[in-house]
Amino acid sequence: MKSLKTAVLACALVAPLVGTTNAAAATYPVKHPKLIANPLYKAGALPASTCAEPEVASGSVKQARAYFDAVVECLETTWKKHLTDAGLKYTDVKVQHVTKFPKKWCDMETNKDDSQAWYCTDTRTLAVKTGKSWTSDPSDLWLFYVAASTYAYHIQNVVGIDAAYQAIPYGKRAELLEQNRRYNLQSTCFGGAFIKSVWPMEGRTSKDWNELVALVEGDEPGDERWDGKTANQRFWLKRGFSTGDPGSCNSWTAPPSKVA
């Protein structure tokens, strides 16, 4: 599997874009049509709907899991309608709640963080480990964001983005890293687009949204950049939210500065 750091959201995380359609401007141009011109991009904004948030008491893993499942149910309802209305296929995701991840899961190296979420392309499974870091103060939108942005990898899988990403070649390691960042930043943007589709949410205000944006972080300075720096993680989250349209999430033709 090419992506060594795909779809993990751990306890210590994740305006119009000029030049997003000019693939030639990228340091490592991506040319695969399923990436740069996927039919999903022409399907329009996600349908507006509502998504009620179940109550989660501080420290309750059971309630946090139920919350996560409820958000996934909303995600499936919205995305299934969106894709099928556009004449695109849709396949349900599987959700697996675990208390511990093996060292290697779905050919990916996991870690020991007490809370994390992973998506396995081969089995279409979203696996979640929920611990204290996600339940100590569950009043924010963090769990909602984790569900939306991790589920986005499932959408990339269903519409052929994942297969195309795995197929495109790369030369230097820097090119592999950039490809991975484009992939991960797109999932962040898809997550933002879904949140927009159910916004405003009962009991939530712009303050909750701004707090969520502040919680999302990217790669630490000095680390190898797999996910994108914090500014770009937040940029793509806000971009998806501002439009509600997955078509605005075409990170594959974005300038290098927006996927750094």
**Residue at 1 is within a domain:** no
**Residue at 110 is within a domain:** yes
Q: What is the mean pLDDT of residues 134-147?
A: 97
pLDDT, residue 236, reads 98
Coil vs helix vs strand at 62: helix
Pairing mode of beta strands 125-129, 94-98: parallel
Can you tell me the distance from the alpha carbon of 208 to that of 248, in angstroms, rounded to the nearest whole number?
23
Segment among 16-20, 55-59, 120-124, 182-186 with least mean pLDDT: 16-20
Label residue 2 by pLDDT band (50, 70, 90).
low
Q: Is the dihedral of CA 184, 186, 189, 190 positive or negative?
A: negative
Angle between helices 173-197 and 61-85 (to 10 degrees): 90
- The residue among 188, 245, 255, 253 whose CA lies nearest residue 219 is 188
**Residue at 16 is within a domain:** no
**Residue at 5 is within a domain:** no
pLDDT, residue 10, reads 43
**Residue at 51 is within a domain:** no
| pLDDT score of 161 more than 90 | yes
For the chain, the straight-line distance linking the first and the last C-alpha, in angstroms and rounded, comes to 22
**Residue at 17 is within a domain:** no
Label residue 196 by pLDDT band (50, 70, 90).
very high
| pLDDT score of 110 more than 70 | yes
The string of pLDDT tens digits covering residues 22-40 is: 333 347 999 999 999 999 9
**Residue at 67 is within a domain:** yes
Domain residue limits at 143: 23-46+57-259
Label residue 11 by pLDDT band (50, 70, 90).
very low
Can you tell me the distance from the alpha carbon of 3 to that of 118, in angstroms, rounded to the nearest whole number?
12
| pLDDT score of 5 more than 60 | no
Maximum alpha-carbon separation in the chain: 50
Label residue 1 by pLDDT band (50, 70, 90).
low
Please give the share of the chain, as a percent, with pLDDT higher than 90. 87
Strand partners, 257: none
* Contact assessment for residue 237 and residue 152, using Cβ atoms and an 8 Å cutoff: no
What contacts 40, CB < 8 A, 6 or more positions away?
Answer: 83, 86, 88, 155, 159, 161, 246, 247
The string of pLDDT tens digits covering residues 205-224 is: 999 999 999 999 999 988 99
pLDDT, residue 18, reads 29
pLDDT, residue 26, reads 40
pLDDT, residue 194, reads 98
| pLDDT score of 89 more than 50 | yes
| pLDDT score of 19 more than 60 | no
**Residue at 94 is within a domain:** yes
pTM for the model stands at 0.91
The total number of structural domains that make up the chain: 1
The string of pLDDT tens digits covering residues 47-81 is: 999 999 999 999 999 999 999 999 999 999 999 99
Tell me the pLDDT of the chain averaged across its residues: 91
